Amino acid sequence: MMKCKKFVAVAGFLTLSSAVFAQTSDPVLMKVGSEVVTLSEFEAIYKKNLQKDQKITQESLDEYLTLFTNFKLKVLAAKEAGVDTLKHFKLEYNGYKKQLGANYMRDSIAERRFAEQMADRVKKDLEVAHILIKIPNDCDTLNAYKKALDIQKKLAKGLKWSDAVKTYSEDEFSKEKDGNLGWFTGGMWAYSFETAAYSAKNGAIVGPVRTKSGYHIIKRLNERPARGDVKVAHIFVAAPIADSTLVENGSKKINDAYSKLQSGAAWLDVVMEFSEDRNTMGQGGELPAFSIGQMVPAFEDAAFALKNVGDYSKPVQTNYGWHILRLVQKGNAPDFEADPDFYLKRIQKSSSLSQIVQSDFANKVKSEFKIVEFNKFWEDLQKKFGSSNFNPIKLDSLPNSTLFTIDNVEYTFEDFKKYYSGRVGRTGELNFCQLKDKLYASFLSTKVLESYEDKLEDKYPAYKALMKEFKEGMMQFELMKNNVWDKSVEDTAGLRQFFNARRGDYMWGERYEAYLFTSGDSAALANFLPQLNKIASKPELADKLLAKINKKEVVISKSVVLEEKTDKNGLIAKHVKSGKTSGIYNTKYNYNALVVVGERKPEQKELKEAKGIAVSRYQEYLEEQWLKELKAKYPVEVNQKVLYKLITR
């Protein structure tokens, strides 16, 4: 009971009435001014600060409640000061809120499904060829689709693949190679293309498959176990393949480098002597790790052909020049069970996959809202302009009609204009398809997601508690900054007054006094060294002796070093091992020597000598005074019976 009384006296708490603390499933623990704090709120924050398996005692609860109460007093003061209404505060808070809410704005089940699929696909690489039929734009796809479908039918009736590629493919890059795109693995290309290729068998032709580029007819050529990732270092000699002279000279230089390696020269030495890749020389020629499809084929093949760490290749030619590669690291992607985050992060970074997941998520959460679309606007627009892809609509001439409502909240064409304003060209014109099928659908999904985001705190209590804790922490920080931290630095008169009233708290201990002699000339300082013993017994000789040396210019300079006897890391403790003098020791730019010339008894520090600790103590003082004012202004009441329910026996 004594501890309870002491705690109440120190904290200035009052006893709460039984009416305030009516028993509920989540009882009220305390009131701070007009603010009510439940036991669950305190408990959640308190337990975050406990060590694993730490017992909860009355002493620890009392101690933490004092800190918690002070925090709540500051938050209440910040709230009444309108800190949370300030523009910069709202901007920062909303940014954090969006960031923390992002975990609730994803379909984690769908992400995991895609991640598991990617983990399965990266176990093998595929070699594919394709025929591409391009699309003029997203609203003009029908003709391209019909053309691709017709080609697929002709192939099914016996048209040779090579003939179809030459006749129809609009991909000039692969056309000359029979449509061959080379090797790829899971997560590298558009999801629809990848899915079609991985679902087919070797030799099969599938499609048409739609991507941003157009419609593809895909031929799966081959598969192999995945190459995984590789990290290599290289020696590089620049020799663009179009310049025969550089190629010839580069060939000689790279072969000289190879001969040195063969003779036993260290890799790093050969890199420094021969490599022309200035970006990697300092790292021994090391390049970032890469997987298939990220380097030119000759470089990639040579890198993956290396078997053991430390092995190096014969000279390899690419379009850029000559290389010798050395294996640094090699490995396959982990199994999903071993490292699911590896794949989940790749899903979130993949633009095509993240768009699919986000679009599916938006469609999923639509069911949680009452959405009413007003189609008359679009019907009137189609009658006036038609649905042709080639009839531009002057957007500024359109009426500000209501397009839809989400839970009775209206969204008008003016709202829509703000959304697409950055997506319209200089002409300010779009066709019906672009406006209705592309931008409007995206706008509706965006507003649904925003509405869902607004409901997060009601939907997820843990998120609501986290945001409250975060917001109050920011509010308290803002007032602490204004009332304590900034004030302690800016109020120089107050700091000096505080310091002068407590001068006895800022004392030097017993100190050695020494002269530090410094010179850039080691010989000059060595010649002066025998004089240190004279100076130790007669310090006044120092300036006379230096004057003889520094007649024309300052060869040796002198400065005073004061160092507390208890300082084990100071210059005197480090360099004066016995007697009163040191030997010569060097720093980065100079040569130095020390001589102890006396001792000083304890004396008071000046403010500039104690500023760091003085400012810190002044901050503590300002906070204490501020808290006294807050406790007088906002009564604090605590139900200790409720508090002590948390004690673990």
Mean of pLDDT values over 567-589: 93
Average pLDDT, the chain: 89
356: closest CA among 137, 139, 118?
Answer: 118
Q: 60-69 — which CB contacts under 8 Å span 24+ positions?
A: 61/643, 61/644, 61/646, 61/647, 62/3, 62/7, 65/7, 65/11, 65/30, 65/638, 65/643, 66/7, 66/10, 66/11, 68/42, 69/11, 69/13, 69/30, 69/32, 69/636, 69/638
From 274, 341, 276, 316, select the one nearest 119 (Cα to Cα).
341
Tokens of 644: 């002590």
Please tell me whether residues 242 and 207 are part of one structural domain: no
Does residue 128 lie in a domain region?
yes
- By the 10 Å C-beta count (0-12 exposed, 13-18 middle, 19+ buried), 341 is classed as exposed
Query: ω into residue 208 within 30 of 0, thus cis?
Result: yes
Residue 174 CB neighbours (<10 A)? 18
pLDDT value at 10 more than 50: no
pLDDT for the residue numbered 140 = 79
Maximum mean pLDDT: which of 43-52, 257-266, 341-350, 421-430: 257-266
Is the pLDDT confidence value at 391 over 80?
Answer: no
Give the rounded percent of residues in the chain with a pLDDT score beyond 90. Answer: 72
Question: Which has the higher per-residue pLDDT, 129 or 435?
Answer: 129
pLDDT band at 282 (very low <50, low <70, confident <90, very high): confident
Contact of 248 with 258, CB cutoff 8 Å: no
CA distances from 135 to 248, 317, 576 (A): 45, 37, 82
pLDDT tens-digit series, residues 45-57: 999 888 888 889 9
Q: Is the pLDDT of residue 6 over 50?
A: no
Q: What are the tens digits of pLDDT across the range 198-217?
A: 999 999 999 899 998 999 99
Q: Does 538 fall in a domain?
A: yes
pLDDT digits (tens, 9 = 90+) for 81-110: 999 999 999 999 999 999 999 889 888 888
Query: Residue 293 has what pLDDT?
Result: 86
Among 277, 312, 331, the domain boundary falls at 331
pLDDT confidence of residue 517? 97
Tokens of 1: 């009971």
**CA 445, CA 451: separation in Å to the nearest integer?**
10
Same domain, 216 and 284: no
What SS3 state is found at 195? helix
Q: Is residue 381 part of a domain?
A: yes
- CATH code of the domain covering residue 291: 3.10.50.40
Phi, psi of 230, rounded to the nearest 5 degrees: -140, 145
Q: What's the mean pLDDT in 464-483?
A: 94
| Nearest to 561, CA basis, from 533, 582, 588, 589 | 582
Checking 16-22 for CB contacts under 8 A at 24+ apart, the result is: 16/637, 16/638, 16/639, 20/637, 21/639, 21/642
Q: What is the pTM of this model?
A: 0.65
Indicate if the pLDDT at residue 19 is higher than 60. Answer: no
Convert the pLDDT of each residue in 255-280 to its tens digit.
999 999 999 999 999 999 999 998 89
Q: Which position has the higher pLDDT, 439 or 611?
A: 611
Last-in-domain residue among 167, 195, 225: 225
For the chain, what percent of residues have pLDDT higher than 70? Answer: 94
Phi, psi of 23 (to 5 degrees): -70, 125
Tokens for 299, please give them: 């470089």
Number of domains in the chain: 5
Question: Which is nearest to 495 in space by CA: 355, 345, 608?
Answer: 608
**Which residue range(s) make up the domain with 65?**
2-80
> What is the sign of the dihedral through the CA atoms of 199, 204, 208 and 212?
positive
pLDDT, tens digit, 9 for 90 and up, residues 513-562? 999 999 999 999 999 999 999 999 999 999 999 999 998 899 999 999 99
Render pLDDT for 60-75 as a digit per residue (tens, 0 to 9). Answer: 999 999 999 999 999 9
What is d(CA 497, CA 492) in angstroms, rounded to the nearest whole number? 9
Is residue 442 a part of any domain in this protein? yes
Q: What is the pLDDT of residue 388?
A: 61
Q: Is residue 430 part of a domain?
A: yes
The tokens 């850039």 sit on which residue? 520
Confidence band for 9, pLDDT divided at 50, 70 and 90: very low
Mean pLDDT of 460-476: 93
In a domain, 620, yes or no: no
